[in-house]
Amino acid sequence: MSDPSTPGPGGAPGGKRATRKMLLALRDALTPATRTSASRSIADRATALLDVKLPQGSLVALYAAKGTEVETAEIDGHAGSHGMRVAYPRIVPGDRRLAFHEVPRQELVIARFGLREPRPDAPAVALDQITAFVIPGIAFDRAGGRIGWGRGYYDATLEAVPSALRIALAFECQLVPHIGREPHDMPVHYIITEVATYAVV
């Protein structure tokens, strides 16, 4: 975890913007070999949690990693071979909520912000069909607080499905002592790093 003495409501001086900049630099500084090894450990923990928490046939919302984010390909493969369905998010212009489509990972295309997304005409799924969301982010605290890119897509989406399980994936270096939470922020239920699976209580 990052230095507990780090001040500020976002875990760094200047709040969320400064935290975002600092934690991105820390994540980007990890070597490719370290990220690959850590992502594999995180995937093992994530699939173990999904196996315990979700019944057969559950629909899991997964993200396709961009840049130095935790890789999710192994989670996709495990879910498909263990009776789970997988959907990927797509940004809809003019809508704060993400759309989700059940599509093979290899059919994702590069879209807005350089994200890998389903095509708009891919089979869509209703948000209330999703049992668990596996979520990326830039910084997290042990109370389930999350800092993403600041666009609010995941918060708006998760607010519409409050009963769904919310699982965040992060490298241990992305944990901070405290993130100031606003009324619209949706905390996660679990944070999984290469070190441990942290349950939010």
One CATH from 3.40.50.10420, 2.60.40.420, 3.90.1860.10, 3.40.50.300 for 16-199:
3.40.50.10420
pLDDT in tens, the chain (201 residues): 444 334 344 444 457 888 889 999 999 999 999 999 999 999 999 999 999 999 999 999 999 999 999 999 999 999 999 999 999 999 998 898 999 999 999 999 999 888 999 999 999 999 999 999 999 999 999 999 999 887 789 999 999 999 999 999 999 999 999 888 776 788 999 999 999 999 996
Which two three-digit tokens encode residue 189?
């239920």
CA proximity to 198, closest of 172, 178, 159: 172
Backbone angles phi, psi at 25, to 5 degrees: -65, -40
Residue 122's alpha-carbon distances to 57, 92, 134, in angstroms, are 20, 13, 20
Query: Could you give the 3-state DSSP secondary structure of residue 89?
Result: strand
Q: Which residue has the tokens 């939470």?
A: 181
Q: Tell me 175's DSSP state.
A: B
